[in-house]
Structure 1
């Protein structure tokens, strides 16, 4: 199945009647998981509005080279660095001529000159303009000097009434061409939701119940899943870690916050990995003000928190559900019990009594357990183990 999960596509739109097809092109790219940013020429805005394309892409549409707000941060250079691939569709004869001659007189040509991303154009023009020797020379120059790929044009009836080569390829054909430019990976087209880090359960505005989880394993899994081609939601408790690139991070505080965030993302989740160290209990009541010291003893009534991973695994049409078991004794035995009792598809067990691995460590050692297999992985960097775990998950999905 074709997927553009997490691929960054910069779509350039130039002036021509075929610009109306660009709306459907943006929709098709987004439908395959791509992130899309649109850059328009002044001519393009005469045929389709930036507001339409902003609504479809979910991102602001760029069109001015000398936008003071954007250029305060060197906006055109940032846009040039952003994409994995640039596609100009439609590409007018005028735009092709200016790009072939190294002009950077608007935002789109400047980005094309400044970017090292692969570049493709989908020509769209009158059949006589397409056949003109100058246009053909410009196309040859682009292909030789900049290795620009030329997709199309197609033949057929044109808006002016002529018949011949010059029609822009249909959006689905352009999407198929883009798909060929990227390797399909083990989790391409999948959406993975991962929980990470601790939760904090408030006692009063100052104090809380928590644990020593750093979130490093969950963050490593998020990075590994992105590298395997997945769209990733990372729902994390209070941690100080940098967000992996291309990951949708959702910060939460308590178990209930995390539960709510998980179920908000769940309808679109194919794989759920519960790597967070969620508090099993919370104070029955939270004081509105700081509790003052009054005696030598203090009691706090605790109540059960919702079991997030069990709740996920109990849903109809549940995602492939992976849990973690942080144990201090009989690690494999307890983990197998959780695998069955919580209706999981896989569980990752580790021994947190070993101070050299687990909480706050850069390393870990895990046992990957399914319903008919058990595989041990010795002490290694958490990122390395995350990649191993992700590939275990991908292999299981292939056999389902």
Structure 2
């Protein structure tokens, strides 16, 4: 309970994730109120029967189903009674949440709306240090400290991003209000709070006692992974390539005095590499490419990979709960607290996947089955796989050529 909130990051984040789930449910109900759900479900059935694919519809249906908003009734998907009733009774209140209208303090609000307002309070405070909480009543100091020290950076930015899904008119993409470097900054926050701790362990196991390693970081962003590698392996040569000019300029300036690091500005597909690389990093870049481009990306990466080299992919995938559970069990991490953390991260992934499909910044989300097909097409195999963060939100996947 909020009144029992401690300064444990895990406790706070689990509480936040619980509220974020209702934040996402409110988003879903608002989207339903602005779209023809019956037509959406009809299109879905046509797609399933006739092979017609619309990724936005597919991802939206997945999100609704895994948040229990849709139920399978007599073999057909339908709005659950609980959320059908909530939408009918609270439609005006739900719609007011997305129109900058104040939900009356004197009116009784369902928990879904209370939690939505809680998360919006955090977003507002994150963006404006002088903003006073209007809906967070307990442990204000703790929440403010978590914002100030950056512990909730990624989580709040995620909610801020997902809020934009409210503009969805199915089956069309929406124009993202965020710049490319906004996502790069989110990636930097995610790396700082999550993946950096696991990355160096994964990398060390792969390179073992090898020397004179050449590393290529495709879409290197602000050089988060390069920083860690350079600190731990200053004898390795690291090459980063970045398409965004603003981000490139920052990263190039950052490493200009570092002899073993070079940063290129350009398109990986068009760059004529002269050397081969022992390690190639692909961190959160696959959703910028369509199905064919993903395959082409791995094909070229394989071309510039040394004989015993590895491609390390860091990426999140929805709808692989069993795979992650088995992984946690094999790694002796399947405690009750871990299962709770994984429960929330698995749910949130469905919303993140939808965002990758609907936002015009991205090409499409990364589906696990498609990823496996693309690996096979390029005669690659998964050599090892592990969680990239304590929540098992993302995975580190080592790919090597089949021999």
TM-score normalised according to structure 2 size: 0.29
RCO higher in structure (CA 8 A, sep ≥6): 2
